[in-house]
Structure 1
């Protein structure tokens, strides 16, 4: 019973902490890299109308938010899970990948960004989280 509870906790905390990191980075993004004048980045209609004004620098923070959110969530899931640690870490990666696919259908972005985001920010970050988590556990 304790294993099942820890595994469920791994999923829930992995998703919550990963989403928190993602949203924190998205929230501070306009303060670090100002969007083009007159664009409301919280409004998909505004984004759709002004997407041509965005430069590659405007996509750095969304990519980092997706990648670091997945990395943190998968890392936490791996460390908390009582069994099948890799599977739980990858489950977090798949969860956020599904969110990334949904976002790419709702929020306009250049094809190069969508491709990079979907191929690099999710499952490779879950793999990196597993690798880092194993190193942390070896040191303890």
Structure 2
């Protein structure tokens, strides 16, 4: 039963983190919309947009990653309920790998690479907070 709980913790942590990313990125797209007619499924159009996007448009993505890291670490640790950071770390590694793929696929500036990698350390902050609060 414990291994199933750990798997559930990681899956739910990834879902909650993905929802966090979607919410913050949608706010960013409302404030800094891509050009009209840009197809989000067209990689060439995305490359062009990211290459010309204003700083804050890209920074909203970093903020989305930060929120996702924190809430996924918190959620995964709470659900795993074993007093360890393992589920949170797994979430952070999975999100980091996805982030690295996206950064390698798009023309992101160096500051984005640095923050895009470092921000996933926040899974530990979320996990630590989860360990300090009352167990479920």
TM over 0.5: yes
1:126 aligns with 2:118: no
CA RMSD of aligned residues (A): 2.3
**1:136 corresponds to:** 133
Counterpart CA distance in 2 for 1:88 and 1:76 is 9
Question: Alpha carbons of 1:27 and 1:131: their partners in 2 closer, same or farther (altered >3 Å)?
Answer: same
1:40 to 33, 38, 41: 38
Counterpart CA distance in 2 for 1:52 and 1:72 is 29
Alignment deviations for residues 7-30 of structure 1 (CA, whole Å, 9 cap, x no partner)? 121011111111121122223321
Contact 1:39 1:47 (C-alpha < 8 Å) held by counterparts:
no
* Alignment of structure 1 residues 1-140 onto 2, 5 Å: 1=1, 3-35=2-34, 37=35, 40=38, 42=40, 43-83=42-82, 85-119=84-118, 121-122=119-120, 124-137=121-134
Contact 2:50 2:106 (C-alpha < 8 Å) held by counterparts:
no
User: Unaligned stretches of 5+ in structure 1?
Assistant: none
Q: In the TM superposition, what is the alpha-carbon distance from 1:84 to its structure 2 partner?
A: 5.7
Q: In the TM superposition, what is the alpha-carbon distance from 1:38 to its structure 2 partner?
A: 5.2
Question: Alpha carbons of 1:31 and 1:105: their partners in 2 closer, same or farther (altered >3 Å)?
Answer: same
Q: In the TM superposition, what is the alpha-carbon distance from 1:134 to its structure 2 partner?
A: 2.4
TM-score, length-scaled by structure 2:
0.84
TM-score, length-scaled by structure 1:
0.82
Question: Alpha carbons of 1:52 and 1:93: their partners in 2 closer, same or farther (altered >3 Å)?
Answer: closer
User: Unaligned stretches of 5+ in structure 2?
Assistant: none
Q: In the TM superposition, what is the alpha-carbon distance from 1:5 to its structure 2 partner?
A: 2.4
